[in-house]
Chains A and B, each alone.
Chain A
Amino acid sequence: MGNSLRHIYAIATNTFTEAIRQRVLYVLVVFCLVMLGGSSFCTQFDFRGDDFKFMKDLAYAGISVIGLLVALLGAALLIPAELERRTIYMVLCKPVRRFEFIAGKYFGLVALLTLFVVLMAGIFFLALWGHESALTGDILAASKGRPTELQAQMIAEYRAAAYDPALVQALVLLWAKLCLVTVISVFLSTLASSTVFIVCCTLLVYLIGHLQSVAREFWLEGTVAAAWYTRAFLAALALTAPDFQTFNLIDEIIAGNAVLWSNTLPVLGYAVGYAVVALALAALVFEEREL
């Protein structure tokens, strides 16, 4: 057990280091530019106080897209490459179990994803802070440091919108969602050996995951008369694809609606459960695979 954890840790740090050495973090420059652009866009056009909603939307989209790229490509590029270049032989000829390899790869990618999300969140908060201080600074300058009641209220509103503690929940949820995407692409790369195939299938599962609850409804309630194969297909989807719609809480948070940790935690629990099962399945598949 202790050995297993050490192996997983070694493989995970190796995966992480290798990715970092390939200079993937340069992608963050793009995110910086997007956030800067978004912030200056807000200053030029008056959003009537919806500035922060706009910036949050933008950041959410940016983190989603970049995180999705990391999650999709990470496993799809790394695992087939290990198999193809046979670096995997060097690992599996050691007293390392195959599930340790899979878990190590997964946690290395999760570490990478975490770093990305944390750094992007940092950039996002900096951008929010910059924009907030610009807006409140303008007001304070106009009032020569003695804001009227209305102005004070505006400042308070800006600050509340910019520093919404629920944003942390949104980021954690987004991170969990990306970890789920990663687990799917890790699972698929134990089955297939073509990067393009793995990326496409993961994307497909990702999209289907957003329809999962619809599929489940159709299947469970059987209100729609459908041929058996349609029903079987829906059943398969409803049973296997993760339900990404539970992550719609993120949209609520960005819209400024109150979301409690008691709403968030079950979703995180679901993500952890799904990831554990999917990883176990991936390990089972990989155990049988000829190298």
Chain B
Amino acid sequence: MIFKKNWKKDWAVCANELSKLYPVDWTQKRLHALDRLDLYVRRGEVFGLLGPNGSGKSTTLKLILGLLNPSSGSVQVFGAEAGTLEARRRIGFLPENAYFPAFLSGREVLRYYGRLVDLAQRKLWKRVEELLELVELTAAAARPLKTYSKGMLQRIGLAQALLNDPDLLLLDEPTAGVDPIGARQIRDLILGLRARGKTVIFSSHLLEQVQEVADRVAILHRGTVIQEGTLEDLLSVREQTQFTVSGLAPVARERLEEWLRGEGAEVLEVTHPRERLEELFIKAVEKRR
């Protein structure tokens, strides 16, 4: 591998020929969830894992954490074998459909997990309040988690993933069940983390959101990467150009089109941009805050 020489410096996660077979029943039948998957994630990069349901996104994340053992192949996290304490110390994880001890309050659950990531008491209490503030749950912090809504649980999940100020954040569908404003906050949070040099790997089905934050994406299908690269490379259509103009009179528009044709360009589409529903929603709700 070309990477091997330098991976300690550059790579947050290296997965080599990673396979995972799940036992399905008592017979010898196995389910091939991952099939010799190669995945390299640079330090300081926001990496999106895409793919249809059952393509192995969650499985990949669990293998990076060492919650599952690979059937073959290996994963390294910052040069340490996945699953070792050394690796887990630097990771924050938000599982999909996160569940929490239902009888604890939001604050208690964060304090509990904070003790597991070895924060000293005083620092921990301060950190918990900061995180509650960050995910906007300070007001609900004293209520038991069984009274939380889905999105609130997701926010608590996010807060607990940040307790140890991780160098690598693994988010499995972080915006599932979160309202558009919350999703935007999560996006800003991810970008903020990237600005601080942290690495983020997340899976999502909301491609638009992925597009907004990810530096690179990999598309998984049946346990293998079928496409991978920077968004720049994958998406830009270099031979086309788009303008968005305001105050253009119809006459001027016709002249412009004519001029463009004269320059040898072909006008493919002239439309009025519609406001995106997401923006409409955010504007409407934010007015009432």
Contact = CB atoms under 8 A, between A and B. Distances in A.
B116 interface: yes
Nearest to A104: B116
B65 interface: yes
Contacts of A86: 95, 97, 99
B39 interface: no
Interface of B: 65, 67-69, 85, 88-89, 91, 93, 95, 97-101, 103-104, 108, 112-113, 115-118, 144, 160, 164
A56 to B, nearest CB: 36
Interface stretch (A88-96, A166-174, A184-192, A230-238): A88-96
Nearest to B92: A93
Contact of A14 (B85, B112, B118): B112
Given A14-B101, A17-B104, A86-B99, A93 B115 contact: no
A10 B69 contact: no
Contact of B101 (A7, A18, A94, A97): A18
B130 to A, nearest CB: 19
A95 B116 contact: yes
Given A290-B68, A291-B68, A94 B117 contact: yes
Given A14-B112, A90-B160, A96-B116, A21 B103 contact: yes
A291 B164 CA distance: 23
Given A10-B112, A17-B108, A18-B104, 13 more contacts: A7-B116, A10-B116, A21-B144, A85-B99, A89-B67, A89-B95, A90-B100, A90-B113, A93-B67, A93-B88, A93-B91, A94-B117, A291-B67
User: Closest 5 CB pairs between A and B?
Assistant: A21-B103, A10-B115, A93-B93, A94-B116, A85-B99
Contacts of A7: 115-116
A92 B67 contact: yes
B103 A95 contact: no
Given A6-B118, A10-B116, A95 B85 contact: yes
Contacts of A263: none
Given A10-B112, A18-B103, A89-B93, A95 B98 contact: no
Contact of A94 (B88, B95, B103): B88
Contacts of A11: 116
Contacts of A40: none
Interface string A52-87: 000000000000000000000000000000000111
B80 to A, nearest CB: 12
Nearest to A93: B93
A223 interface: no
A17 B108 CA distance: 11
Nearest to A15: B101
A23 to B, nearest CB: 10
A95 B160 CA distance: 13
Contacts of B108: 17
A3 interface: yes
Nearest to A89: B95
Contact of A95 (B67, B89, B97): B89
A91 B97 CA distance: 15
A78 to B, nearest CB: 10
Nearest to B91: A93
A11 B89 CA distance: 18
Nearest to A14: B112
A97 B65 CA distance: 13
A54 B177 CA distance: 60
Contacts of B91: 93
B103 A22 contact: yes
Nearest to B118: A3
A3 B67 CA distance: 20
Interface in A262-291: 290-291
